[in-house]
Chain A
């Protein structure tokens, strides 16, 4: 770099201390430092950007699956023998739906398997069914095709989030079963299956048998209209392989399946390390290939309240709670904040009290939010005996927290109105109050609104103080008023993040996404307001 620079001191010129070779060497070093420094700065900015991208992409990719929910369409028998139209409330709708599901799999006999099978559909099915029948009694009297939500594990499996499943591959040899159901033997035409099993974590026994335990991948062979799960393999005579297996879905016959007629499906995730069993996977795949499962927009998530069951949990209760809380916050913080700002900026004499108030406001703005929660707990709940978990208390706590933000923003905005406006109004005989309320305040309003919206956005995302006043309670009902127990969106996120069920992880991300959308909207409004009305005096 420096070689090209500086043709100073070229031939015929005197060489000074700034142009000699030593100076050039020093300069080179200095520019190296310069470049380093600049790149450090760029790297810092890039890192901040990277963190943001990482954070948002993690949340968005996790949230997207939660926006849809898989439904299973079942023929549900609602004839009078099952549902007595006179006693709609006394009917066990869950049992009816479960019956319809078990009817699809007549082979499933054992009590344990039946329970597994029933577990495929959501435990909320009965509630939905009852509601829909109440809304449309015309459903009664016969068999209707009714879509029920799947249980969260089934749903997650179908979204590909529970297990790594390979695609079906044709087996290039013949397969002969010994029976059509129960524990059977399979004879493969060649021993390729042995190599394959070894590659998928099969344990080799002393007698040369390969066993596929629950710690290995699952190998499922589908042929003759049924599915067999391989449990052990050994080499047979003439280069064949003999496998033991458990029939999951009964075969039509014991006829040998020709090469290319049987299909192997490998579930890479071992059964022991996933939350869905091979049987459930086979059932779900069967239902899916029968076209009975469909993925729909997840209206449950958006329009219902909280639940312990991931597939039934919704954010609507939290959204309403947040909305009610924000109304209280705004109703308190905005008038008080703006009034305080007006007083301090326009009326307050420069005395000790004013200074104390100012210092106080600056310090309040930096008090940790959790301390405001302690204040709410000690004063609002315990001293004044206000209800726990209520939006009105949450709103008051957040209002106290937002107040300094609004005051500071409003004061800045009032200060930006030039004194000439005040002088003009005072000059034609307006009183101080009239000057402020007729002239200064309207001009400062866009800035005040912007500050208020940003303060509200801050309050909307606040969590910690609301934990203190009991808004962390598990509340299923959607709050109908300011004193009803409620939770709010960030607290809902906090609670869901703690739930162990895998389905809640997606729900949490989706709830975060909703919260972020609200914040983006609020910030966008603030930006637009600022752009639209910003005035440079």
Chain B
């Protein structure tokens, strides 16, 4: 229904463009040079005012109606819903909506059917309202703009100002995204911290939220605060990240050095795409590789050496994650190494240093801040990486530093807690947001520090 309205408005806009153009030309009897703005700009102006406000209204309507409709339903059926918890109420409204829009629901009952009928009628009313509002806006906008079209009218300025506003709005989307992330994480985390104290979450060493609800009878539903200690997750994340960096840092850095200072053109022509392909492979593919090839392989080696390697060892996940990060490290290092001025290399070579002496004693020390920031970015990347660890690391939160054992990570737990059916305000689900907040803060700090360092470093040579 509303789809038709949008199409209608677009058609109206096209018509308005043509009308505005014609009127502008007619207003000067075809002598276009007498117009302040081009006829097309008058057309655009008219089209913008004919369809723009109405389209904005529709956007606003589509954002707020679901909430309004739900609250009306909840209000009307408040007596029936009074005995239910929040998740049940949400489920009830969801079902009512589904039934109203012709879907099938597992457990239909007369109350839900009644609610669905009410829902349907409210929704129909609301569609009528938006139709009316949109048409009124469109007509008045058209009328107002149409009366403005005159040879001296500065249609171009209006159009350009609207365009500029649109451009600004688009830039603000990035900020809105960040605000959305921060608010949603903080909001849900606060709800979590109402149930589980902050310090128990940050410093607790026991993590098993799958058994979040303990007790029976009167105590059923009480949250056990002691099973939300994130230290083991953090330790596991650090362990896997450390292993990944052990692989990625030397290989990435040496590859960057070799490619920028030693490799012949033909080697570079092969090696650069290889690194780019490694960088372009989706992480889920690395995860599959880790779980099905690398982990059993390490297990086999461990067995032949008499070691007990877990089938979801931190080692396998870490090594594969390291492979994934190699191109990241090498491309960042490459930038940094190339930013060291040639004059320093010449100065060193002019003193009779060999290539490796120049690199080790002049280039690398000079590039050190940049390399450090590259490594920080790589660490941040490793900490936030999800699919490899979800597929290849364990689920049980072991607090261990042994890379042959299975550990779990922050991201794995977020996925585990949120995949599948969930009630949105159980401590389990909210814990995922708290973990997300921790993850966001850590990676953000690392990124900011890294960007600062690299900026300072750039300034040094500019």
Contact = CB atoms under 8 A, between A and B. Distances in A.
Whether A associates with B in a native complex is: yes
Interface of A: 30-31, 33-34, 37-38, 40-45, 47-49, 51-52, 54-55, 58-59, 335-337, 339-340, 342-344, 347-348, 356-357, 360-364, 366-375, 377-379, 382-385, 400, 403-404, 407, 431-433, 457-458, 460-464, 467-468, 472, 490-491, 493-494, 497-498, 505, 508-509, 512, 515-516, 519, 523
A54 B290 CA distance: 12
Contact of A51 (B326, B418, B447): B326
A41 to B, nearest CB: 3
Contacts of B187: 378
Interface string B134-163: 000000000000000000000010001001
Contact of B440 (A43, A47, A371): A371
A357 B174 contact: yes
A374 B293 contact: no
B356 A497 contact: no
A497 B355 contact: no
Contacts of B170: 335-337, 339-340, 343
A375 B174 contact: no
Contact of A343 (B167, B286, B418): B167
B106 to A, nearest CB: 15
Given A44-B254, A378-B188, A490-B387, 11 more contacts: A41-B254, A41-B259, A48-B327, A51-B323, A55-B285, A59-B288, A343-B171, A375-B177, A384-B67, A467-B418, A516-B285
B387 A368 contact: no
A37 B358 CA distance: 12
B167 A340 contact: yes
Chain B interface bracket (under 10, 10 to 19, 20 to 34, 35 or more): 35 or more
B436 interface: yes
Given A37-B359, A41-B262, A360-B175, A368 B285 contact: no
B86 to A, nearest CB: 12
A366 B281 contact: no
B173 to A, nearest CB: 5
5 contacts: A43-B254, A343-B164, A363-B447, A383-B184, A431-B156
Interface stretch (B19-27, B339-347, B378-386): B378-386
A367 B418 contact: no
Contacts of B241: none
B398 interface: no
A473 B259 CA distance: 44
A340 B172 CA distance: 8
Contacts of B255: 41, 44-45, 48
A59 B327 contact: no
A30 B180 CA distance: 57
A493 B163 CA distance: 43
B385 A368 contact: yes
A59 B289 contact: yes
A519 B280 contact: yes
B311 interface: no
A44 B251 contact: yes
Nearest to A473: B420
A315 to B, nearest CB: 14
B336 to A, nearest CB: 16
Contacts of A373: 418
Interface string B322-354: 010011001000000000000000000000001
A340 B171 contact: yes
B451 A362 contact: yes
B174 A360 contact: yes
A34 B354 contact: yes
A497 B292 contact: yes
A463 B283 contact: yes
B207 interface: no
B238 interface: no
Interface stretch (B47-55, B109-117, B270-278): B270-278
Nearest to B64: A384
Contacts of A369: 384, 386
A31 B447 contact: no
Contacts of B433: 374, 378
B411 to A, nearest CB: 5
